[in-house]
Amino acid sequence: AALGAAAVRAAPRSPVEPASPTALSMAYVPDGLSKEEWAKIQKKEAEQRKKKDFGAGGTRGFKSRSMQSFMLAYERGEASHLFPVDPAKVKKGEIALKDVAYMQRGG
């Protein structure tokens, strides 16, 4: 028995043969849709995705402003200090919601 186990362990392993390209040609298709209908939906969604710019606000899309650039813009009159917004003025319409800093807007 010991000799048989040693022989099995010493036997070289056969290399795994790659699967043939025609062995499996299945694709996901949701229940209730034909293959053509699903392809049409996927094509429409892909076209809609091309129109969007997902990376615009990503980690590399945000550019922080340095204190020096803010001070230069402030001196030229192009920037002003952002003070807390009075919620009553927003409710009255004196200040547009788009002009309220995102940290002060409601959830």
| Whole-number pLDDT of residue 10 | 58
Q: Mean pLDDT in each 10-residue stretch from start to end of the chain (107 residues)? A: 56 59 74 93 92 69 73 86 82 85 74
Q: Which of 47, 68, 83, 107 shows the shortest CA–CA distance to 99?
A: 83
Phi, psi of 76 (to 5 degrees): -80, -10
Instruction: Judge contact between 62 and 68, C-beta under 8 A.
Output: no
Q: 27 Cβ partners below 8 Å, 6+ apart?
A: 35
Instruction: Judge contact between 62 and 81, C-beta under 8 A.
Output: no
Instruction: Judge contact between 100 and 90, C-beta under 8 A.
Output: yes
| Whole-number pLDDT of residue 32 | 92
